[in-house]
Structure 1
Amino acid sequence: MTTVDLAPADSLGIAEAGLTAAHGGRLVREALRRGPAAGLLARAGRVHVVAVGKAAVEMGTAVRSAAGAAFRSGVAVPAAPAGPVAGFTVVPGDHPVPGPGSLRAGLAVREYLRGRDFDERDLVVLAVSGGGSALVSRPSAPLGLDDLGLLTTALLRAGIDVTRINELRKAVSGIHAGALLPMAGRARLLGLVLSDNVQLGARAVASGLSYPGSVHYARAAEVLAEVAPALPPAVVDRVRAALARRAATAQADPAILNVEVGGPQTALDAALAAARAQGYRAFSLGDSVQGEAREVARRIGAAARRLAERTPGPVCLVGAGEVTVSVRGPGRGGRCQELAWAMLPELPGLPDASFTALATDGQDFLPGVMGARVTGESLGLAAGLGLDWRALLDRNDTHAALSAIGGCLPGRVTGTNVCDVYALSWGNGAVPR
């Protein structure tokens, strides 16, 4: 994969500042230093940790450190294999489509909670980050893993936003929407949640893993009706049966203190601060950027042109959120790559223009890539290589195209997941170096 050499005042450095500020371990440590979470931890005689999500290891080990001698053990379910983690059993799940690893992880979490005789001296901490909807799995009967995989794939390909996807996924799960919590018996419960949801916040993360009573069956049925034409009728029937079974077996909701330790706003604030520190006039697109990628690109481009007419450079637009892609073609890409490619015709005319879209979890759907960075010269470079911008966009074939022009950004483990960060800078020739 081709990489690019970036100026220090470029949009990528600004987006990266947002990612760094949202590290799950750092945010958990801050949450456990003060406030109600700190008080609950201080009163605990024994601390046990269930960490699930793309930042599971970082968040779980931060709890272990804060608990000190009270820490007993934990189970962590990350998205990627990890080496040994002191005090933890690590069971990676599958993502974005649940697989055999997700079933193993779901079983490991259930056995961990059920295998201990908890009482009031025990504190079970659920450290939850995005990705947990797929990483742990226990489909409600008669739904099977293959059915759940088909359902998830159909939902993703339909371009349905993740909040609505999870309305259905948690309604057919024996783990999500607080279903795990009664297994902790008499233990006190603390949820530390790193939010990657721009609509409902922490309570929607990992399909409400630490939030009891968060299933809305009518909304779930609406999402199922929307995606049903893309599924075999027998699968649709089993999903409906699983919905009915989950509704019929609902338990009393145990008490839990849930604390949102950070989210998209955390990354947005840090990126804005970084832009201003570098000499930019920085403007916010908000922390809930949503919509079809190509439509969002047009909105960002229009906003930039309005600003450029009345605001002397250097200027930077920063946002956080999660765009969607309705997959209509056979190509390969991700939502950040699609957005960056869609931005190409929006950049010419803005001097020194640079646009970056970063998936804060380090993976923009495809392994090995976390997003893309393009400039005002990228459209001409693509044309010079014989790349048809419109045709590639219509085929959703953005990964190969961006790789050809050096726009793809290598993926990595980031220790966080707070949606995506977007930065558009221009006029940076006026930024003091």
Structure 2
Amino acid sequence: MTTVDLAPADSLAIADAGLVAAHGGRLVRETLRGGPAADLLARAHRVHVVAVGKAAVEMGTAVRSAAGPAFRSGVAVPVAPAGPVAGFTVVHGDHPVPGPNSVRAGRTVEEYLSARRFDERDLVVLAVSGGGSALVSRPSSPMELEDLRLLTAALLRTGIDVTRINELRKAVSGIHAGALLPLAGRAQLLGLVLSDNVQQGARAVASGLSYPGSVDFARAAEVLTEAAPFLSAPVVARIRTALTQRAATTSGTPAILNLEIGSPRTALDAALAAARAQGHRAFGFGDTVQGEAREVARRIGAAARRIAERTPGPVCLVGAGEVTVSVRGPGRGGRCQELAWAMLPELAGIPDASFTALATDGQDFLPGVMGARVTGESLGLAAGLGLDWRALLDRNDTHTALSAIGACLPGRPTGTNVCDIYALSWGDGAVPR
């Protein structure tokens, strides 16, 4: 495999700074040091934790530490199996398509809350991060798990963005959109939400797990209409019935204080600060980057050329969000890999160009890879290996292509999930001394 050396002041280091700043445990600790969340924690005699999502263990253990002697117990539902965590029952769910482990995890959370007689001296903290839409599951009747699996797979195939996918999934769930909250009885409720949603923010994370009344049933019905061609008529009928029944039975739930502790903006701001500290003139292109990966690549390239015309290097352009990939070919890849490969022509001719697309949860769809870093030389390098840029892009076989030029970034646990972060740096790369 060909490898690519990193420059001293590189887009990868800049993107990585954003990832570090968005660590779920760090943000929980900061939130619980002061303000209304700290006040709730200080008044509680007993603290219980339900942590669900890709940063579940990191966020849950941070609450445990902040609560001190008041901490009693918790349940954590991460993506991957985890070892023992002191004070917690840990049960992993399935992701991105809910499965038997998701149902087991959902049942564990419900039983954990139902088995305790909470009163006003109890505080139940819901530590929520992305991934919770699939990790815990209880399909509403008459749906079954297989119906939900088929629905999720169909939605992913359509290229519908994740916010709209979750609008339907939470509308047919007996757990999401605040449906869990009544099980906490008279306890005080605190939601600490690490947001990975670029459209609706914290209330859409994990399908609104800690947000009662967060379902738009009309929008959910529209999404079902789009997914229907990919499903059998009996499955569509059961989903439609579950949607109608859930809409008719939605009722009031206990009050909860929900706080967004971090978001794509957290990562973006930290990456911009890191770029400036390295001596770059840093520009942001927002924390709501969306759209088809190859279209976003063209927009980033155009923005870079406009800036380069009037701004001497070194320069860095940073954004955060979540691009989409309409899968039309048989290849392997992920959002960040597709975007990085699509950037190759945009980088050609830019001095010392370096572009990084990084999934902050540590996995860009495929296990073991979290994104890619490419340079202005990558297109020529690929051509020299006989790789056809356009053909590989059309086949969605970007993982094969990027692996061949040594551009894939190894996946690793990150303790966070705030969408993806993108950094494009160019110029002489020199860092002022």
Shorter chain as normaliser: what TM range?
Answer: over 0.9
Match of 1:12 in 2: 12
Match of 1:309 in 2: 309
**TM-score (normalised: structure 1):** 0.98
Classify 1:103/1:308 alpha carbon distance in 2 versus 1 (closer, same or farther; 3 Å): same
Q: Alignment RMSD, CA only?
A: 1.1
Distance 1:345 1:66 in 2: 49
1:134 and 2:154 matched: no
Matches within 5 A, 1:76-91: 76-91=76-91
Secondary structure of the corresponding residue to residue 150 of structure 2: helix
Counterpart contact for 1:369–1:409, Cα < 8 Å: yes
Secondary structure of the corresponding residue to residue 61 of structure 2: helix
The residue type paired with residue 95 of structure 2 is H
The residue type paired with residue 126 of structure 1 is L
Distance 1:54 1:375 in 2: 30
Matches within 5 A, 1:388-403: 388-403=388-403
Distance 2:275 2:364 in 1: 23
**TM-score (normalised: structure 2):** 0.98
1:22 and 2:22 matched: yes
State, as a whole percentage, how many aligned pairs show the same letter. 86
Q: CA deviation at 1:231?
A: 1.4
Greater alpha carbon shift after TM alignment, 121-130 vs 155-164: 155-164
Counterpart contact for 1:2–1:408, Cα < 8 Å: no
Q: Deviations over 1:158-188 (max 9, x none)?
A: 1111111110010010000000000101111
Secondary structure of the corresponding residue to residue 151 of structure 1: helix
Match of 1:218 in 2: 218
Runs of 4 or more consecutive aligned structure 1 residues displaced over 3 Å after TM superposition: 1-5, 428-433
Matches within 5 A, 1:143-158: 143-158=143-158
Alignment: residue pair count: 433
Distance 1:251 1:76 in 2: 27
Match of 2:371 in 1: 371
Secondary structure of the corresponding residue to residue 289 of structure 1: coil
Secondary structure of the corresponding residue to residue 286 of structure 2: strand
Secondary structure of the corresponding residue to residue 73 of structure 1: strand
Q: Deviations over 1:195-222 (max 9, x none)?
A: 0001111000000000000011100000
Counterpart contact for 2:9–2:429, Cα < 8 Å: no
Q: CA deviation at 1:241?
A: 1.1
Q: Deviations over 1:203-246 (max 9, x none)?
A: 00000000000011100000111121111222111110110121
Distance 2:67 2:93 in 1: 26
Q: CA deviation at 1:156?
A: 1.2
Q: Deviations over 1:8-52 (max 9, x none)?
A: 311000000000000000000000001100001100010000000
The residue type paired with residue 246 of structure 2 is R
Greater alpha carbon shift after TM alignment, 236-245 vs 192-201: 236-245
Secondary structure of the corresponding residue to residue 326 of structure 1: coil
Distance 1:401 1:408 in 2: 9
Greater alpha carbon shift after TM alignment, 207-216 vs 381-390: 381-390
Distance 2:327 2:303 in 1: 26
Counterpart contact for 1:313–1:430, Cα < 8 Å: no
Match of 1:179 in 2: 179
Match of 2:249 in 1: 249
The residue type paired with residue 65 of structure 1 is S
Distance 2:12 2:320 in 1: 14
Q: CA deviation at 1:293?
A: 0.5
Q: CA deviation at 1:349?
A: 1.3
Secondary structure of the corresponding residue to residue 286 of structure 1: coil
